[in-house]
Amino acid sequence: MDTRSELQATVNAMVQPGKGLLAADESGPTIAKRFKTIGLESTEENRRAYRNLLLTTPGLGEFVSGVILYEETLGQKADDGTPFPQVAAANGIVPGIKVDLGKVPLALAPGDEITEGLDGLAKRFADYKRQGARFAKWRAVYNITASLPSRVAIEANADSLARYAAISQEAGIVPIVEPEVLMDGDHTIERCAEVTEAVLHEVFDALHRHRVVLEHILLKPSMVLAGSEHRQPSSTADIAAATVRVLKRMVPSAVPGLVFLSGGQSPEEATANLDAMNRLGALPWNLSFSYGRALQEPPLQTWRGQPGNVKEAQQALLKRARLNGAAALGKYDAAMEKD
């Protein structure tokens, strides 16, 4: 199979109505914070056991078409000795890999950040592909204040995202492009929309310059909403309308799928907001989810590191996946939370 056919086959497998992605790509420090909430030490075996719980959930492939793994998890095995990428694939879930190396302060740009990881990326892609990864993810972050993000941060992160996407496609791996406009702060929903527009405009300009094929990427955007410290939280209707308005202005229809990040929203909020967007009428792209905490929080709190809780925790994960699958079709109802 040639590279373009390979990329198209992966996109087709990932972009399916009523299905989204499970983001299970937490870095070492992040998973340690999550485990701390349940009083569990972040050892390699505990991390493996938790990812085993997620990936072996019966029926998960009915609502989840892909899973983003961390480098450590890509090389780990399930309880029966099967490598995790093979476990996912056997359940109809495409295995993917987070490839950026995290964010650092952007030089001479106080308050802005840049994502690292481009050095040696082509070689890493060859290794990841050999282990079974078929898609990748790179996250850029943008802090919002009255003066941030700066123009230099918007341009630098867009260029890194585009360079990553080009290297990924050349390797036959579908890139997920994730420009996250952070919800931290007291900014208005209008300010978030303004920044998101500027960020997406620059990202797609950079993708064009780097000759990235838009039909063979997925975009992982943040929703447009007021900052978490703003005195008036955004309503579901306002979030849906503002987000779709920005996306229609900035995202070419050639992009096959948009998979939203939850960005610190509660599981219920993330589901309701996705559903509201999908009720706004026909859109040029498939709108779905790529949630981490918004899918994982219920199973993690149920599991608490206890082997006897695994089955119940898997049921909690399956429920959230089912609810988000309904939201991706515009068929979610808050009453379903009680089922």
pLDDT in tens, 195-226: 999 999 999 999 999 999 999 999 999 999 99
* Structure token digits, residue 119: 């050095």
Task: Please report the pLDDT score of residue 228 as a whole number.
Answer: 96
b/e string for 67-94 if b means 16 or more Cβ within 10 A?
A: bbbbbebbebebeeebbbbebbbebebb
Show the DSSP H helices in the chain as ranges: 3-14, 28-36, 44-55, 71-74, 84-90, 121-131, 151-170, 189-209, 236-250, 267-278, 293-303, 310-327
The residues, ordered by sequence, that sit 6+ positions from 87 with a Cβ below 8 Å of its Cβ are: 55, 56, 78
How far apart, in whole angstroms, are the C-alpha atoms of residue 157 and residue 163?
Answer: 10
- The catalytic residue positions are 178, 220
Structural tokens at position 114? 């840049």
Tell me how far apart the alpha carbons of residues 187 and 209 are, in angstroms, rounded to a whole number.
32
**For the packed helices 44-55 and 28-36, what is the interaxial angle rounded to 10 degrees?**
80
Distance between the two ends of the chain, CA-based, in angstroms? 44
Residue 100: which CATH number? 3.20.20.70
Query: What integer pLDDT is reported at residue 214 of this predicted model?
Result: 98
Sign of the dihedral through C-alpha 165, 168, 174, 179: negative
- The 10 Å Cβ neighbour count of residue 242 is 20
The CA-atom distances, in angstroms, between 189 and each of 202, 228, 268 are 20, 10, 20
pLDDT digits (tens, 9 = 90+) for 111-165: 999 999 999 999 999 999 999 999 999 999 999 999 999 999 999 999 999 999 9
- pLDDT of 339 > 90? The answer is no
Contacts of 78-84 with C-beta under 8 Å, sequence gap 24+, read 78/52, 79/52, 83/131, 83/132, 84/51, 84/52, 84/55
Instruction: Quote the tokens at residue 131.
Output: 């282990």
Instruction: Please count the residues of the chain.
Output: 339
d(CA 262, CA 55) in angstroms, rounded, equals 20
Mean pLDDT of 309-332: 98
Q: How confident is the model at residue 239 (pLDDT cuts 50, 70, 90)?
A: very high
Number of domains making up the chain:
1
Using pLDDT thresholds of 50, 70 and 90, give the confidence band for residue 1.
Answer: confident
Arithmetic mean of pLDDT over the chain: 97
Render the burial of 119-153: b for 16+ CB within 10 Å, e for the rest.
eebeebbeebbebbbbbbbbbbbbbbeeebbbeeb
Helices (H) and strands (E) counted in the chain, each on its own, are 12, 10
Q: Is the pLDDT of residue 259 over 90?
A: yes
The one-letter amino acid code at 58 reads: P
Res. 251 pLDDT band, cuts 50 70 90: very high
Mean pLDDT of 176-186: 97
Give the DSSP H/E element, type plus range, for residue 95: strand 94-98
Model confidence pLDDT, tens digit, residues 279-302: 999 999 999 999 999 999 999 999
> What residues make up the domain containing 254?
3-338
